[in-house]
Structure 1
Amino acid sequence: MFKVKDLLLSPETFEDPIFRTHLRCFRWYGYVASKDQKRPWLSLLRCTVFTASIWLSCALMLARVFRGYENLNDGATSWATAVQYFTVSIATLNAYVQRERVISLLRVAFEDIQNLMFVADNREMDLLVATQVYTRTITLILWVPSVIAGLIAYSDCLYRTLFLPKSVFNMPAVRRGEEQPILLFQLFPFRELCDNFVIGFLGPWYAIALGITTVPLWHTFITCLMKYVNLKLQILNKRVEEMDITRLNPNLVLERLSASELTYWRLQLFKEFVEEQRRLRKFIQELQYLICVPVMADFIIFSVLMCFLFFALTAGVPSKMDYFFMFIYLFVMAGILWIYHWHATLIVECHDELSLAYFSCGWYNFELSLQRMLVFVMMHAQRPMRMRALLVDLNLRTFIDIVRGAYSYFNLLRSSHLN
């Protein structure tokens, strides 16, 4: 069992250029805490309440959808919402159980980025800034649709509560089909409890707020970790290709070094590169342990749900609002699957370029003994680096297979429906 002090991050960590936004949100939810907080244990306790709230909301939504819907389109959007909550419930519980691993990964990444900012040249700083901009853009792209969908549900709730109150709390009329429930009430099995303001009104508001913030937050945080690995591999490739021994000792004057001294410092540089590669492999392995279960769940559930949403768009008679929400869900689910498989592909491709970087480092000017050593270093660099989610490889080919599979199942459902 972890202790509170084991889960505390330094205040400087929350200013990390890549993870700043996500760490501040995680501190609000209680997944991480700062050493300068007066009561960090209270923040970590809040995480327990938050995780339980996600699971409670998910259970209520699943209870509602299992009761069935008269309208296919209402059922499709409700199923999509419930499944989104189910997958994010798995992710948040996984993060809650593995908080020590999350903290460890963050500490390693923060210390590494601080060291990089201290010794980086202009090109490496450009790579760091580009990574920072990229992660912010990805976060924004995934966050905006979730926030828009949540604001529409809130706007519908506010408008009808203020101007059409009979359609909000008149549940007998809703059950008779005389009134249409607001979007929030379609997701929860409250029935007569909707007359209770706290349970029937504030409860759904709180649950939707959790969903529109948590779904993009967790997935884009993992994207930041994966993009950090890609950044480190880019910098490693650059340094290998340059083979600049003055990085080890800025006082070295190349013209004054003998052949044996040059060989010695280049050998030290080889050792540093191999050690850096070993650290990155360990980091990727820890990251893989962190995400394997929730990503496998996303792989199975989202592929089935995407097929179902396509079927609902063609078989039902969706309204403009139904169209909007279905496309939002399809975009978010496809986006979540894409960011995992795309960034895992970037890591693999960038690692595969490492051998080429060694070949481009001017090895023909080295001593024969160092050339022989370089062969073994290149063989070590050629060891495959890949990411898996239990039984599934994370790469673009798998993502394309998911889309193809969803489309094939959709055609099967549609042909069965037409017959």
Structure 2
Amino acid sequence: MPQSGTVKMYKVKELQLTPDSFDNPIFRIHLRCFRWYGYVASMEQRHPWLSLVRCTIFTSSIWLSCALMLLRQFLARGYENLNDGATSWATAVQYFTVSIATLNAYMQRERVVLMLRTAHADLQQLMLEADDQELDLLRTTQRYVRTITFLLWVPSVVAGFMAWSDCIYRTIFLPQTVFNTAAVLRGEAQPILLFKLFPFGELYDNFFIGYLGPWYALSLGITTIPLWHTFITCLMKYVTLKLQILNKRVLAMDIQRLKPELLPQQLTVNELIHWQLQLCKSFVQEQLRIRAFVWQIEQLIRVPVMADFIIFSILICFLFFALTVGVPSKMDYSFMFIYLFVMAAILWVYHWHATLIIECQNELCFAFYAGDWYNFGLPVQRMLLFMMMHAQRPLKMRALLVELNLRTFLDIMRGAYSYFNLLRSSHLY
């Protein structure tokens, strides 16, 4: 019994963050949402184990919704037109990919919380010692992550609002098409949009299963899909911020960052060399910490991003084909456009921000050379040479077999377009 209690407390502690972590300038929005879903907990909570329970229920709900949607697609005898099948399959696949991501986050929640603790402590220290230029970089990063979060969240909310609006309108003005499964089966009435996603059959007429259940599943999807992907974006943008600040400090080579009371003009040559070497040592340690953090991100996202790479590239091609061959209604057209935008945006945020990390890392080598190294002592010059060689090591990220960079993203888009042309040509002949 004591052993099991120890294990339970250890799992709860994995989720706990300090209260001020939820006001972090970069992760504020996402941490508050994660606390609601139970992925993290505050040390102020009286019953932190409830967060673990909520997290388990939330993750299970996502997987249950995904399983029901996929079952609905496999049991479907056919669709009246290609567009109905395209939107239904696109919704089910979106839930499948986010199910992989949420389960991965659930299994690796200790890693996630450790990364958040590290980033929060580092940002607190940065705000204490940063100059005006570095604070401007932090504020720019803060605005950037808010914008990315907003841009990815809006289409998801719009898609959910469209489905809810259809449900509310039909319930109020056409109630016979909402709770009338017999008429739907006879082809005399069309089910509401949400009903097309789940294989409930005659249970549609049950208010909780056929009505509130789809509402709950939809609310999970429109919040979780943008939440997870923009959270990873925040982690990657935090790395970019760290590299930008490191590049700036390398260019300045200001030993007063180590000890503010130091006055270079009052130091002897040996003392100046000593403090410059200490500053170089701090740069190396910071670079190693950045590399370790990037490795943690890579371990966290490699499976979900690989799944996104495979599934989204196929689905983008299929949706383009459905738009070209079928005769979509205005709602189908809107849904497919939103799905295309969201899937392309999800792939883009990973590959683009991985490219930014690579570029900032490449700039670090030039920062060592662009400084006044020719005015430093010989030991410092040798140290800078070794640091330049170390900085040339690429800081690349991989999702299992896929390297994350902008070139890969463009290859995905070109590949999807090529497959689309092949499908269209086959259909014409």
Q: Scaled by the length of structure 2, what TM-score is found?
A: 0.97
Instruction: Find out whether 1:88 has 2:95 as its counterpart.
Output: no
SS of residue matched to 1:250:
coil
Which residue in 1 is equivalent to 2:323? 313
Q: Partner of 1:327 in structure 2?
A: 337
Equivalent position of 2:54 in the other structure: 46
Q: Describe the SS at the equivalent of 1:203.
A: helix
The 5-angstrom pairing of residues 360-379 of structure 1 reads: 360-379=370-389
Deviation at 1:370, TM superposition (A): 1.8
Counterpart mapping for 1:120-135 below 5 A? 120-135=130-145
Which residue identity lines up with residue 34 of structure 1 in the other structure?
S
Listed one character per residue, the Cα deviations across residues 251-303 of structure 1 (whole Å, up to 9, x for unaligned) are: 01111111111111110010000000000000010110000000000000000
Separation in 2 of the partners of 1:368 and 1:205?
69
Report the Cα offset of residue 369 of structure 1.
2.4
Partner of 1:224: 234
Inter-partner Cα distance in structure 1 for 2:14 and 2:405: 34
Superposition map of 1:221-370 within 5 A: 221-370=231-380
Q: Which amino acid letter does the alignment assign opposite residue 394 of structure 2?
A: P
Q: Deviations over 1:11-70 (max 9, x none)?
A: 010010000000000000000000001111012111000000000000010011112332
| Alignment of 1:117 onto 2:127 | yes
Runs of 4+ in 1 over 6 A off after TM superposition: none
Give the distance between the partners of 2:69 and 2:323, measured in 1 at CA.
21
Give the % identical residues: 72
SS at match of 2:261: coil
Residue 127 of structure 1: how far off its partner (Å)? 0.2
Structure 2 counterpart of 1:67 = 75
Q: Establish whether residue 14 from structure 1 lines up as the match of residue 22 from structure 2.
A: yes
CA shift, 1:176, in A, is 2.3
Return the match for 2:12 from 4, 11, 29: 4
| Unaligned 5+ runs, structure 2 | 1-6
* Distance in 2 (alpha carbons) for counterparts of 1:416 and 1:63: 29
In the alignment, what sits opposite 1:394?
404
Amino acid at match of 2:121: E
2: CA distance, partners of 1:144 / 1:46: 25
Q: Distance in 2 between matches of 1:323 and 1:295?
A: 27
State how far apart, in whole Å, the 2-side matches of 1:6 and 1:207 are. 27
Which residue of structure 2 aligns with residue 33 of structure 1?
Answer: 41
Q: CA deviation at 1:133?
A: 0.4
Match of 2:4 in 1: none
SS at 1:158's partner residue? helix
Superposition deviation, residue 76 in structure 1: 0.2
Alpha-carbon offset, residue 173 of structure 1? 1.6
| Residue of structure 2 aligned with 1:23, choices 31, 55, 60 | 31
1:406 matched to 2:416: yes
Give me the whole-angstrom Cα distance separating, in 2, the residues matched to 1:385 and 1:147: 35
Match of 1:184 in 2: 194
Deviates more, 1:171-180 or 1:242-251: 171-180
Q: Deviations over 1:88-122 (max 9, x none)?
A: 00000000000000000000000000000000000
Query: Out of 113, 129, 141, which is 1:103 matched to?
Result: 113
* Equivalent residues of 2:160, 2:218 under 8 A apart: yes
Give 3-state SS (helix, strand or coil) of 2:193's partner: coil
Render the CA deviation track for 1:103-148: whole Å, top value 9, x for unaligned: 0000000000000000000000000000000000000000000001
Does residue 165 (structure 1) correspond to residue 175 (structure 2)? The answer is yes
Cα RMSD after superposing both structures: 0.8
Look up the equivalent residue of 2:251 and give its one-letter code.
Answer: E
* Structure 1 gap segments, 5+ residues each: none
